[in-house]
């Protein structure tokens, strides 16, 4: 018998031993446990996410609706004689008010709904009618039925809450077909209000957009330039190591610390523009910078050295190598890090609390220096209200925030795929 044949027989006997089979079964059992734990973790995550989305969807659907009363109005008999030129002016609302539009709406509401129900018409109902007239002056020659917002008390009674009188009134109106839950398109066009029936999300959404624009314009170029310098030009010494360590630590600093920094620096330098998107954006840019620098450096490191060597070999200068070859190839990774940092900034409230963006703003901001709040802060403010109407509005606002985040992520994925190059 040869040595090879003897070795083969020995190995075969070893694999048939009880100890070998026990070790093999133990290894298979460990693999099965690992797969089970992994599957459990994924299933648990999906279940929690699904529960969150279903809960938000159920509550959020109500947030996009409101209780409205049907009020037939004969504008031809109302006597309002505003011409289209007057309605095109900025003071058109005041013109309609001076001609008695609030009293006309009140009269027809009492005639159709009764005095008790007419008193539960929202105080801002005539303003919505005025907006309809400004948008379509021909309405003044027509007789039409308008669906106008009910008061918060009557809306609560329609939902089966509040006083017994409001519930009874809502039941009567429902039986007569004069109250209904209807889609509230104005929720996406109005700003904050003390009445949940009149509250909207546009003011906070616009504030978030303006704040994110400032954050991106400051954090992205500075972060990319810092990453390029540290990877391509900075000498390797103790100072560089200290800077790298500081940047890594800053990425883990609680966000409220950046709020304190913004409070101490920006509001000291610019005390006249407190609670504005530009101050909020600068504060969030401080928080986002470390994330962009770290992700940018990792993306630049991933560019193969042969790319640099090849460019230098054909006569490119070091600056041309960086901006014509290294940066374009690293851009997909940089964009991924940027969107992670921006998504974190979009959901932050703590640093913005410190710079005064927790405020009631009833009109959308006109620009970067107008008082504004942001979506997470609006959600926080509404969640603190006891009125059920605000609970539904809060869920609807969360849905808007998630959609905003998905749009940002989709844009980042599109840009990453567009600039991605393979070698």
What average pLDDT does range 111-133 have in this prediction? 88
Q: What is the pLDDT of residue 74?
A: 87
Q: Could you give the CA distance from residue 174 to residue 68 in angstroms, rounded to a whole number?
A: 11
Asked whether the whole model's pTM tops 0.85, one would answer: no
List, for residues 145-196, the tens digit of each pLDDT value. 999 999 888 888 888 887 888 899 999 999 999 999 898 888 888 888 888 8
Residue ranges of domains in the chain, CATH in brackets: 64-183 (no CATH), 201-419 (1.10.3720.10)
The H-or-E segment that residue 57 falls in is helix 18-63
Q: Is the pLDDT higher at 36 or at 57?
A: 36
Share of the chain above pLDDT 90, in %: 28
What average pLDDT does range 11-29 have in this prediction? 79
Reading phi first (left if > 0) and then psi (alpha if -120 to 50, else beta), residue 275 is in left
Predicted confidence (pLDDT) at residue 86 exceeds the cutoff of 80: no
409 — pLDDT class (breaks 50, 70, 90)? confident
List, for residues 129-145, the tens digit of each pLDDT value. 888 888 888 888 888 89
294 — pLDDT class (breaks 50, 70, 90)? very high
Q: What is the pLDDT of residue 10?
A: 64
Q: What is the pLDDT of residue 383?
A: 86
Distance spanning both ends of the chain, measured CA to CA: 54
Q: What is the pLDDT of residue 300?
A: 92
Q: What is the pLDDT of residue 99?
A: 84
What average pLDDT does range 61-79 have in this prediction? 86
Q: Could you give the CA distance from residue 22 to residue 18 in angstroms, rounded to a whole number?
A: 6
Q: What is the pLDDT of residue 292?
A: 92
What average pLDDT does range 245-257 have in this prediction? 88
Share of the chain above pLDDT 70, in %: 95
Q: What is the pLDDT of residue 81?
A: 73
Range with the lowest mean pLDDT among 77-86, 262-271, 280-289, 336-345? 77-86
What average pLDDT does range 114-135 have in this prediction? 88
Mean confidence (pLDDT) of the chain: 87
Q: What is the pLDDT of residue 57?
A: 80
The H-or-E segment that residue 68 falls in is strand 65-74
**Residue 327 to residues 15, 46, 222, 296, 305: CA-CA distances in angstroms?**
55, 37, 14, 9, 13
Predicted confidence (pLDDT) at residue 352 exceeds the cutoff of 60: yes
Q: Could you give the CA distance from residue 104 to residue 92 in angstroms, rounded to a whole number?
A: 17
List, for residues 376-399, the tens digit of each pLDDT value. 999 988 888 877 778 888 888 988
Predicted confidence (pLDDT) at residue 38 exceeds the cutoff of 60: yes
Q: Is the pLDDT higher at 92 or at 279?
A: 279
Q: What is the pLDDT of residue 9?
A: 64
Q: What is the pLDDT of residue 278?
A: 93
CB atoms within 10 A of CB 358: 16
Q: What is the pLDDT of residue 15?
A: 64
Q: What is the pLDDT of residue 12?
A: 63
Would strands 179-183 and 143-149 be described as parallel, antiparallel, or unpaired? unpaired
Q: What is the pLDDT of residue 4?
A: 63
């Amino acid at each position: 018998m040869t040595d090879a044949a003897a070795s083969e027989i020995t190995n075969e006997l070893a694999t048939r031993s009880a100890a070998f089979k026990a070790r093999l079964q133990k290894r298979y059992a460990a693999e099965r446990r690992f797969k089970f734990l992994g599957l459990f973790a994924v299933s648990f995550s999906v279940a929690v996410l699904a529960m969150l989305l279903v809960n938000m969807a159920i509550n959020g659907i109500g947030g996009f609706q409101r209780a409205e009363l049907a009020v037939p109005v004969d504008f031809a008999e109302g006597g309002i004689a505003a011409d289209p030129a007057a309605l095109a002016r900025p003071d058109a609302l005041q013109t309609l008010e001076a001609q008695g539009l609030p009293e006309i709406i009140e009269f027809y509401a009492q005639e159709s709904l009764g005095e008790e129900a007419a008193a539960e018409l929202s105080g801002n109902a005539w303003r919505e009618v005025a907006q309809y007239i400004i948008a379509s002056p021909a309405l003044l020659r027509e007789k039409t039925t308008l669906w106008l917002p009910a008061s918060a008390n009557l809306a609560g009674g329609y939902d089966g809450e509040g006083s017994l009188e409001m519930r009874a009134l809502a039941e009567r109106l429902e039986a007569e077909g004069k109250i209904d839950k209807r889609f509230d398109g104005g929720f996406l066009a109005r700003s904050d209000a003390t009445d949940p029936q009149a509250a909207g999300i546009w003011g906070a959404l616009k504030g978030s957009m303006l704040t994110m624009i400032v954050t991106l314009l400051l954090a992205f170029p500075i972060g990319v330039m810092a990453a390029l310098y540290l990877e391509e030009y900075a000498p390797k010494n103790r100072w560089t190591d200290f800077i790298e360590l500081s940047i890594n630590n800053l990425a883990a600093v609680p966000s409220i610390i950046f709020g304190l920094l913004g409070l101490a620096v920006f509001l000291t330098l610019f005390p006249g523009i407190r609670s504005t998107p530009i101050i909020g954006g600068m504060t969030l840019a401080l928080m986002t910078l470390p994330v962009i620098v770290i992700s940018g450096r990792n993306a630049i490191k991933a560019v193969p050295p042969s790319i640099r060597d090849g460019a230098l070999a054909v006569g490119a200068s070091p600056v041309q190598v960086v901006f014509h070859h290294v940066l374009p190839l690293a851009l997909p990774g940089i964009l991924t890090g940027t969107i992670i940092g921006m998504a974190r900034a979009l959901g932050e409230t703590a640093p913005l609390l410190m710079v005064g963006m927790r405020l009631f703003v009833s009109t959308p901001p006109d620009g970067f220096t107008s008082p504004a709040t942001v979506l997470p802060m609006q959600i926080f403010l509404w969640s603190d209200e006891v009125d059920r109407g605000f609970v539904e509005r809060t869920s609807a606002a969360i849905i808007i925030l998630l959609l905003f985040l998905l749009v940002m992520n989709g844009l980042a994925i599109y840009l990453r795929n567009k600039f991605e190059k393979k070698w």
